[in-house]
Amino acid sequence: MRVSLIRYTPEPELAIAAAARLCYAEIGASQLVEKLTPTQVERLLRQVISSGHHSVLEHASFTFAVDGISRATSHQLVRHRLASFSQQSQRYVSYKSPDYVVPPTVAADADLKQIFDQAVLAAFEQYRKLIEAGILAEDARYLLPNATTTRLAMTMNARELMHVCSIRLCTRAQWEIRELFERVRDEVTKVAPIIGSALQIKCITLGYCDERETCGIRPLREDIL
């Protein structure tokens, strides 16, 4: 899996701080950008994040190149509708060699991994036979397993990133999508450390777990009421 931040709002934290201050200022956002100090920017961002006034976070967006995740994970990913995705098409891209993800639980057992590999490679071999027989890639792809890797571009604003990370960084999320957003968080932190620090699982902020079962990081809500 490879995750790279390829584009983002210039000075994203300054843009958010200026938008937050604008609501109570007599001058415009362009003037605020010139006047705000780094200390003021940090204070404003932390106030916005802690108070729950998250709409201003939508003024900063981040675009990531994601390569090598499985189709199983991309199917989970696109459920987050307040984001933009452009994904490599299996209709128009004909795969010439197998590239797939093996879950750690399978990889840990040599016998089970052999079963997994054989099944994936057999499916791919039949896929190639259909392609070579003249079947369109869009029809041959029905044979490809969920383990097949994909590439995509993903854009989210800071508010949506906070929401998605609050769910997908949870230890109860599946391992691959959790790893994806750990890398997303690392990329954001490089250019926007305050925003990056806010990309955390929701139980940390809530002080309790609101799922049916807790992993143990925080107690269930009913256990502390």
Active site residues: 168
pLDDT of residue 195: 97
167 and 138 in a common domain: no
pLDDT of residue 30: 76
Q: Sheet holding 149-157: strands in order across? A: 2-8, 61-70, 149-157, 84-87
pLDDT of residue 144: 97
The whole-angstrom separation of Cα 20 and Cα 46 is 11
pLDDT of residue 214: 86
Domain that holds residue 174: 2-69+73-84+149-224
Last residue of a domain, one of 143, 160, 177: 143
pLDDT of residue 49: 93
pLDDT of residue 26: 62
Can you give the pTM of this predicted structure?
A: 0.91
Sequence-distant (6+) residues with CB within 8 A of 172 are 211, 213, 215
CA torsion 176-179-183-184 (nearest 10°) is: 60
208 and 104 in a common domain: no
102 and 63 in a common domain: no
List the chain residues with pLDDT less than 50.
none
The whole-angstrom separation of Cα 156 and Cα 62 is 6
134 and 27 in a common domain: no
132 and 173 in a common domain: no
53 and 78 in a common domain: yes
Q: What Å distances lie between residue 184 and 11, 57, 88, CA to CA?
A: 18, 17, 19
Structural Rg of the chain based on CA atoms: 22
128 and 18 in a common domain: no
CATH number of 161's domain: 3.30.1360.170
80 and 12 in a common domain: yes
41 and 134 in a common domain: no
Q: How many domains does the chain have?
A: 2
The letter for the amino acid at 156 is M
pLDDT of residue 212: 83
154 and 139 in a common domain: no
Last residue of a domain, one of 121, 143, 165: 143
